[in-house]
Structure 1
Amino acid sequence: MSSNGTVSRRQKPPQVVAELGRPETPDETAARKAENSRKYRANKTINNLWLSLIVCVAVVIVIVLLVPRDNTSHLPPVDYRSIASSAQAAFPVPVASPDLPSTWSANAAEIRSSTGATAAATVPYWYIGLVTPSNAYIGLEQAVTTPTNGGTDAWLAEQLHDTAATDTVTIDGVQWTVYDNRQTPNDVGNASYALSTQSGATTYVLLGTATTEEFTQVAESITPNIQSQPATAVVGQ
């Protein structure tokens, strides 16, 4: 108590800073507060950046999920039956022209040739790119063994990306070898699923991304062609 009868408050001594071993000076206090404020703003900026990034990623995911994707073929349809009829004169065996409903279409039909070690080893083959009612793909390939190319074994391995047979199946009286690569992690191109068979001088391959039922439908549609193949190809026919 002071001499005039009033109670005086004892001033609290400055707090000792452990790192300094003494109280902070006013300048040190101001500097510390300024540094803490800077760190707070920096952390706030980083947090805002992360939040913005998360929001952007979420928006992209929503767009990808909601925007419809067009899986249709962008190649114009072709009349493979008419092309097959015209191609017959240049092909040494009867050309396969599957009899399929109007819900099927084709985006390519042509005679192709593999690249052999020599010109004589080249394997000619007829190709149709079929689009199924479910908008999947089946490639129909019909290769020919000629007196000079040594057979279609190498060609077949190339078309099937050297994959191994997994089964056999009889479709409409014709035995087909099955190559089911739907579960493989390897890159097999269009040979996710394939069927192959031989008749006379001709080797057939069906390959693509369609359902097993759609493959069966194509195989059934070319049974008459398979059964009509000659034992040997007449080159120059």
Structure 2
Amino acid sequence: MAKNTEPRIVAELGRPETPEETFARKAETSRKHRANQTLLNLVGATVASLVIVLFLVLVVVRPSTETPVVADYQTIAADAQTNASEPLLAPEIPEAWYANAARLGTTSAVQTWYVGFVTAATDSSAAQFIALEQGIEANPTWLGIVTDGALATSTTTIDGIQWTIYDRRSSADTGNYAYSMSAEIASSTVVLHGTAADAQFELLAAAIAADSEAQ
């Protein structure tokens, strides 16, 4: 069948299109098609962006509901005691506190008992951290390591035990060594260091004094 080459009759004109009108019509059709494609692409990109944002909000940014790791430090201390030549400190702590780690190891060749305590949150601050490190027959090198090389700033006595204070809270990037305390208890050097307030350090120091007295 031969291809129809008759000019297209346009109803609005009542006559066949001129070549110029045909060209203009096709150009306008192409323009509208491109505009529609651009709109569809824009809508698609917007929807994709919203999906990504929703994913970040629901999955990435949502608060963690994981249960914190809790270490039964008093049981661990009792089990490790057979390998220690000095009674290991396992003081009673407030009910709202907990230990997140406890282990007997060595630091700079000194047998070291370590417990990490997480304090209770208050109305004015989040939960904080205090580490207890007990070096059995420790030396100055060990003390320098577990206080992160801090210089003594003052001393205090809590329940009969004299503590040396290392306060670096005014310095930047001190992390868990922002505040430290050290004391000699029997044949051990005991260091507390962390981010908690003075009152929380003093509470733990008093608990240590009671524990060492009981031993």
TM-score by length of 2: 0.64
**8 A Cα contact 1:108 1:129, kept in partner:** yes
Which runs of 5 or more structure 1 residues have no equivalent in the other structure?
A: 1-62, 116-121, 146-150, 230-237
In the alignment, is the contact (CA less than 8 A) between 1:111 and 1:127 conserved in 2? yes
- Say yes or no: does 1:82 pair with 2:64: no
Contact 2:159 2:206 in 1 (8 A): yes
For 2:21, the equivalent position in structure 1 comes to none
1:202 to 188, 192, 210: 188
Summarize deviations over 1:71-109 as a string: whole Å, max 9, x none.
x99751111111111111111100100111221101100
Asked if residue 152 in structure 1 is aligned to residue 144 in structure 2, the reply is no
1:136 aligns with 2:123: no
Q: Is the 8 A contact 2:119 2:196 kept in 1?
A: yes
SS in structure 2 at match of 1:141: strand
Partner SS state of residue 193, structure 2 = strand
Contact 2:168 2:177 in 1 (8 A): yes
The amino acid of 1:142's aligned partner reads Q
Which runs of 5 or more structure 2 residues have no equivalent in the other structure? 1-56, 122-126
Opposite residue 87 of structure 1, the aligned amino acid is A
Query: Displacement, 1:191?
Result: 0.9
Q: 1:94·1:228 contact (CA, 8 Å) conserved in 2?
A: no
Structure 2 CA distance for partners of 1:210 and 1:198, relative to 1, 3 Å: same
What is the aligned length?
151
CA RMSD of aligned residues (A): 2.3
Percent identical pairs in the alignment equals: 37
Which residue does 1:166 correspond to in 2? 153
Q: Does 1 or 2 have the higher relative contact order (CA < 8 Å, sep 6+)?
A: 1
Give the alignment's TM-score, normalised by structure 1: 0.58
